[in-house]
Amino acid sequence: MNKKSSPESSPVPGFQEETRPGRVLESEKIQRVTLISFEGICVHADGKILDANQALSNITGYSPEELVRAELLSLVAPEYHKTVTEHVNSGREEPYEVMAVHKDGTLFPMEIQGKNMHFEGHIIRIASFRDVTERNRAEELYRILTNRLQTGVYIVQDGRFRFVNSLFESYTGYAKDEVLGRSGLMAVHPRDKKILKMQASEMLRGERTSPCEFRIIRKDGQVRRVMGLVSHIQFNKRPAILGSGMDITELRKAQKKLEDLEALESLILDTIPHAVLGLENRRIIFANNGVRDVFGWEPADLIGQSSRVLYRSEKDFRETGRAFYGDTTKQRFHRDEVECRRFDGQIILCALTGSKLGASSRSRKAVVVFEDITKRKQAETALVRERDFAESLIETAQALVLVLDPGGKIVRFNPYTEEVLGYSLEEVRGKSWMETFMPASEWRVMRAAFREALNKQQTTERTNILITRDGSKRIVNWCSKTLRGSGGDMIGLLTVGQDVTEAKEAERKLSENYERMRLMSSELARTEERERQQLATELHDRIGQTMAVAKMKLEALQKDAEATRLSEPLDEILGIVDQLIKDTRSLTFDLSPPVLYILGLAAALEWLAEQYQTKYGLRVRFRKQGTGKVKLDKDRDFVLFRCAQELLMNVTKHARAENVLVMMKTSGKKLEIVIEDDGVGIDTGILKAPREWTKGFGLFSIRERLSFLGGRFFVESVPGGGTRTRMVVSDTLSTRRPGAKNADDESSGRRLLQES
């Protein structure tokens, strides 16, 4: 180390004498860099080192104290002084390589990278130093290895070849000078470039581990097949792609021939859904994959074993052998059904087909095929049982079962049909079903229905009238199914009917009862409202006015009793009377709000929204939309108002909502009332039927009341997403049965509260 670079030399120009050089690396910003780095780091200005870390001391052999105030160029071989000076003066930041001088005088390769910084108002430069001796040795070793490998090796940088080894030149036919600097895809077959780019990208991202396989076009025009791998590397201090490739053209050709032969053999044996065994002296020398399905054995486990392991008993094994091998002069094939034993001990029934190999009568080689027919035999037995069961079912069924031919003539019907119609099968077999048992007025329609049924696999329910032997009429619901033969041709129609005469009569009576109930319910609602209105009038006109007079009398008495002992009791009595008047007025409005009958439904809903906002602290808004003029009678106005009141009460009790929207919309002759909240939501399933009288019955009751008026009720809700209810009526009264479903009666989903 040059003594002029000792710590005692003069300070760097521009720095105060009291500025200790070590303070530079003590700054928090630079300390973070030096503490996490394994590289040598120093700070220098005007060619002098101001501070250095321990790693730089380890690399150069100088102590940190020796490095401080030393000349930066003293660490570099003289022939590289110019390179270092140019990088420092120009402020360049890219890494560069020089030969460094160790304290013991030895030279070693070192990579330097610097960056200018501001410190206490001055420009300094911080530099990192890396000993690249081992890296350079590794790169040299890599170059030696790539030229000795049995694979082509190449490096691509910026999309162009930067290095190729001799084997790469060999299988592409291009010399190194013809490749370097050209596109990395220059030799790739045009049709494979896209897929190669995609697979290489997957490999570089770590998404693919298997090699890429692609075609190249050699310099002489030959197409060769190559298998290769790629990975990221640093080449000349910059990112690059390292690739390796192997010419597998001949390998693929040989492999293809072998695969074709193996595929043919495998296809022949494995497409046979049975166990195929090669036998010699009844020992197994070959087994296909079918033995797994038939016997549960692995093919390899059977090789060398006696075929006895496949038979249920020794007796079956010997009898099959005698039958197959007994007459060697006349018989080369043998077929039989024999019980066999699977690997798990299960007994199965197999169809056995054996064929001897070789023309010699003494040949003991054979191929035997075992087909598991257990399920087929079971199916045949089950089919017989099912047929017998079906026959029994048809004979005993309490339904009309009828078979017609394609012309509509009677082929067969069951005893119950005889019972209903009063005719035996023999009396009407071969006659037209429609002309014999249906009114003439239905023939045209039923012939069209019959033709439609023949053209369909299965028809939906259809109802018609049958005339019995005694002239009475029966109402029957029919379902039909086309009958087809084994060849798929249509051979007739099977139709099953249910006598619903009594059910239809009961339905008619129920409908009449329902109409009476609807009228009674409507009258009950009107009566209830009249009673409410009368009671409200009585409260207002009698009790309310009487209490008002009493209050005036008490107020007059209070003036006379001032400053007496009666003053305080009179104050209390006046307070009680005031509260009674308020309670009476509130009860009057609850029983029958005058605003509903004086100003109409819209004004009543707006008043109701204001009441709930005042009483319960909710933000309740009312909005009216539409220009339609819907005229409803007072009874329906009252029902809609009460339903809206119940829905708002539900919101206050259960929804835990903050905002509520009450909206009345008119369109044509239709009126719709919407109540929407931002609460916790409900289970819309309770509308179908309340699970208990205390849960969901209110909504169920609203739906039924609206249904009596010919209206509809919709609920849209999701848990946590609020609830939106809609009541829809028109000024035309309907008699729809309560509980009857509309296509859109219930729906899930959610609309957010809309701002007005």
pLDDT given for residue 11 in this prediction: 36
Identify the three-state secondary structure at position 482.
strand
What b/e sequence results for 170-184 when a residue is b if at least 16 CB atoms lie within 10 Å of its CB, and e otherwise? ebbbbeeeebeeeeb
CA 304 to chain centre: 52
- Which of 63, 59, 43, 61 has its CA nearest to residue 51? 43
Identify the three-state secondary structure at position 666.
strand
**Cβ partners under 8 Å of residue 589, min gap 6:** 536
pLDDT given for residue 187 in this prediction: 93
**Cβ partners under 8 Å of residue 269, min gap 6:** 276, 288, 289, 290
Q: Centre a 10 Å sphere on the Cβ of residue 437 and count the other Cβ atoms it contains.
A: 23
CA dihedral 316, 321, 323, 325 (to 10 degrees): 180
The answer to whether the CB of 200 falls within 8 A of the CB of 230 is: yes
For residue 130, which amino acid is it? R
What b/e sequence results for 38-74 when a residue is b if at least 16 CB atoms lie within 10 Å of its CB, and e otherwise? ebbbbbbbebbbbbbbebbbebbebebebbbbbbbbb
**Cβ partners under 8 Å of residue 469, min gap 6:** 421, 422, 423
CA 546 to chain centre: 71
Phi, psi of 677 (to 5 degrees): -130, 165
Q: Per the structure block, which two tokens stand in for 510? A: 């129920």
pLDDT given for residue 380 in this prediction: 86
Phi, psi of 322 (to 5 degrees): -65, -40
> Where do the H-state alpha helices sit in 280-432?
290-295, 299-302, 314-325, 374-396, 415-421, 425-428
- Which of 232, 201, 204, 228 has its CA nearest to residue 215? 228
pLDDT given for residue 4 in this prediction: 36
pLDDT given for residue 343 in this prediction: 95
Q: What is the spatial order of strands in the sheet that 670-677 belongs to?
A: 619-625, 659-667, 670-677, 723-730, 712-717
The answer to whether the CB of 577 falls within 8 A of the CB of 614 is: no
The answer to whether the CB of 66 falls within 8 A of the CB of 109 is: no
Element spanning 634, H or E? helix 634-650
pLDDT given for residue 525 in this prediction: 62
pLDDT along the chain (756 residues), means of 10: 35 41 53 62 91 90 91 94 94 92 94 88 89 80 64 90 89 92 93 93 88 93 92 88 89 81 70 87 91 93 94 92 69 84 94 80 80 90 81 81 90 90 92 91 87 75 88 89 81 87 84 72 66 64 67 71 69 75 67 77 91 91 86 82 91 92 91 94 67 58 81 90 92 51 41 37
> Where do the H-state alpha helices sit in 22-132?
23-26, 28-36, 54-60, 64-67, 81-90
The answer to whether the CB of 252 falls within 8 A of the CB of 260 is: no
pTM surpassing 0.85? no
What b/e sequence results for 451-468 when a residue is b if at least 16 CB atoms lie within 10 Å of its CB, and e otherwise? eebbeeeebeebebebee
Distance CA 61, CA 131 (A): 12
Distance CA 724, CA 753 (A): 9
Distance CA 746, CA 714 (A): 6
pLDDT given for residue 73 in this prediction: 94
